[in-house]
Amino acid sequence: MGKMTVGRFAAFIICFTLAAAAYDQTVKPKDSSGKVPPEFTGIAGVRGWVLAETPRTFPKEGLNGYVGGAAEIFLQYGFRNLTLFQLVPEKGAASKKSITLEIYRMGSPAAAFGIFSTRREGNEPVSPAIKTAHWLVPEQANLVKGDLYINILASGCTQAEIEDFAMSLAGGFPAADALPPQGFSCMPEFNLVPGTERYICGDMAAAKESPLLGADFWGFKEGLSEAYSAKYGPAKSKLVLVEFKQPPEDLFNKVFGLFNDALTDITMVNQINRIMQGTTVLGRRAYFGVKGLSVAIVLDEPDSDAAQIRIEDALDRAIRFKAGK
């Protein structure tokens, strides 16, 4: 073998440096402790994609700089940090395909499911191959694993490619598959539309769920209450179950006053269980009932009997749940 000249050696060093830089994009970055963060563990399991640039992390103080006005609702669900990844296909430098991957670490698995649930309507497609809670639409997918809420934004990718990416990502994370918070056991099962369940924390998510939940006495902003909601067939009506940690005094009259201000034709349809009915300005029915520390509200249900049964069932389930039965 001939001797390596200075010029050839310099060229070798340059090539080696470039190759090492390219390889660096596919290895699993480490934090200051030398351990591989869970986010990277999952991403390393997605074949065919590599990092296009160094991931960025946003703490609580910096979230507003990335998501703008949406930061507050994340904070109300216990946001901790966001790690942002830019990925490109491993093979095909000229490809116009790319994926922006947002991984939000929330305060708990319940909080992660909650923020995820506010991002869906319930009619989004899902994949039978993905076991954790998720949805898929053109150029986007959402899923939740443990305390991680994950948003996938795909440019130039087919629906099949997005599904494959989401499936690989879900399988690569060590966190457990997401389950709805235990409070959903209080929601009646008959005619429930799967995929419409929402866990509501904070006044922003509450007001978005229904204007009726925007009143101050609910205590959503102060963390004095939380809520669960879901849609029910066949009319796609909605049931909202509000659970108080510290209810205001004279809860029934406060809820009645709210309904009386917002609705017309208020009547008592069930004297024993104190279930009220009213009509919105759009001519739709609304119902509510109060028992213990719980308030059940049914919106847009044309069948009065169905609404009453649903409210009674939800309130009874809530009492049993609190009693540990």
Same domain, 37 and 166: yes
Clarify whether residues 204 and 268 are in a common domain.
yes
Residues of the chain where predicted confidence (pLDDT) is lower than 70: 1-42, 44-45, 92-94, 325
Domain limit, last residue, from 110, 144, 172: 172
Q: Dihedral of CA 210/211/212/218: which sign? A: positive
Boundary (domain end) residue, out of 130, 149, 172: 172
pLDDT digits (tens, 9 = 90+) for 153-176: 999 999 999 999 999 988 887 777
How many Cα atoms sit within 13 Å of 117 on the Cβ side? 29
**So what's the pLDDT on residue 273?**
77
Distance (Å, whole) CA 321 – CA 271: 24
Alpha helices in the chain (DSSP H): 6-24, 38-44, 64-67, 71-76, 109-117, 159-172, 202-209, 251-262, 304-322
SS3 58: strand
Q: Are 95 and 89 in contact (CB under 8 A)?
A: yes
For residues 188 and 127, membership in a common domain is answered with: no
Predicted confidence at residue 21, as pLDDT, reads 37
168 within a domain of the structure (yes/no): yes
Task: Please tell me the total count of domains within the chain.
Answer: 2
In a domain, 13, yes or no: no
- Say if CB 48 and CB 91 are below 8 A apart: yes
212 and 116 fall within a common domain: no
Structural domain range at position 59 = 23-172
**Within-domain flag for 3:** no
Pair (33, 149) in one structural domain: yes
Determine the pLDDT at residue 10: 42
Whether residue 238 lies inside any domain: the answer is yes
Chain segment 5-64, per-residue pLDDT in tens: 444 434 433 343 333 333 333 334 444 333 445 556 667 668 888 888 888 999 999 999
